[in-house]
Amino acid sequence: MPVKRLKRFLESEGVKYLTISHSQAFTAQEIAASAHIPGKELAKTVMVKIDGDMAMAVLPADDRVDRHLLKQAAGADVVELASESEFKDLFSNCQLGAMPPFGNLWDMQVFVDERLAEDDEIAFNAGSHSELVRLAYEDFVRLVQPQVVHLTTRENVLTG
């Protein structure tokens, strides 16, 4: 089970966490609804390439990465969304698209949107499309040491 590595890491660091099982879902908004968590409180991990290096952008489920903001925050020349084929082999112990936002476990940089810091807790995919982990936001920051920046544009814009 993909979540084992994450649980071992959290337990070795003395972090209290809660696992939440939910029916299988693939989009962040479907996961939030299935787990009964508001979209702004569920963190999704978006894989990006920053000057050719793989990195994680962590943001509320109801937002999307603004590449220009991330480029500015990273001091980069080029920021691109990574395709699944570019990162599928990096997370062999996770289901594709369900990797937890712990880039430190894979030796990669993590950028987290400042909006996630507004809540005391953070919930995120735990390596599968049917299980989340929820823990204190301060524990997440202590363990991952992400760069906390403004990097999102609201996704749920009214149209019509």
β-bridge pairing 121-128 and 42-50: parallel
Domain span including residue 85: 3-154
Task: Provide the pLDDT for residue 153.
Answer: 75
Asked if residue 160 belongs to a domain, the reply is: no
Nearest to 60 by CA among 118, 126, 19: 118
Q: Determine, yes or no, domain membership for 159.
A: no
SS3 content of the chain, % helix, strand, coil (to 5): 30, 35, 35
Model pTM?
0.87
Low-confidence ranges of the chain (pLDDT < 70): 1-2, 25, 39, 154-160
Domain of residue 58, CATH code: 3.90.960.10
For residue 41, tell me if it sits in a domain.
yes
Q: Which residues pair with 58 in a beta bridge?
A: 45, 112
On whether residue 30 sits in a domain, the answer given is: yes
How many domains does the chain contain in total? 1
Q: What one-letter code names the amino acid at 57?
A: A
Read off the pLDDT of residues 3-42 as tens digits, 9 standing for 90 and up: 787 889 999 999 999 988 877 767 777 777 777 777 677 8
